[in-house]
Amino acid sequence: MYGVTESPKGDDMSIELKAVKRDDIETVWKMQIEAFSDLLQKYQDYDISPGAEGMDKVMARFEQPWTTYYFIMHGDEKVGAIRVVDKKDGSRKRISPVWIMSEYRNKGYARQAILEVEKIYGSDNWCLDTILQEKGNLHLYEKLGYHQTGKVERINDRMDIVFYEKD
């Protein structure tokens, strides 16, 4: 497990990151499907949504030597997960995806998890992308120092993907 981050509110909302093991991939996949189901239904982005992926795709990512998945833990509860891509070749590190289970959202867990991975991997040279129409996501990433690159990819009539970097 990796360190504990204090909650911005000073209450007991601290988290730990616990590296995912091969035996945990089915749990990660089930959590991912559940966590992204509302967005999948809202945007109908069946080709790219983490909510529409098969377990084989999650396993293939897990097996990439440059990928590490972490459970976001609050006590004994898995409140979400985050995947970090670090090829260690000078290219940007990437967060893709990060999610918080619906019952734990809006408590600062995603922010704390991103701060924790930045402690582990360094706080510069990152990239990520998110749904342009999800203003809460944009606010989170911008508050953490990420800036839009100007690249926006149209997915369908309902949704666009916006790209972020942090130097």
pTM of the model: 0.92
Phi first, then psi: give them for residue 86, nearest 5 degrees.
Answer: -135, 100
User: What mean pLDDT is reported for the chain?
Assistant: 94
Q: How far apart are CA 24 and CA 52, in angstroms?
A: 19
The percent of the chain in helix, strand and coil, each rounded to the nearest 5, is: 35, 35, 30
For the chain, which residues make up each domain, given as ranges? Answer: 2-122
* Domain 2-122: which CATH number of 3.40.630.30, 3.30.930.10, 3.30.43.10, 3.50.50.60: 3.40.630.30
Report cis status (omega within 30 of 0) of the bond before 97.
yes
Tens-place pLDDT, residues 6-25: 444 444 579 999 999 999 99
Tens-place pLDDT, residues 21-41: 999 999 999 999 999 999 999
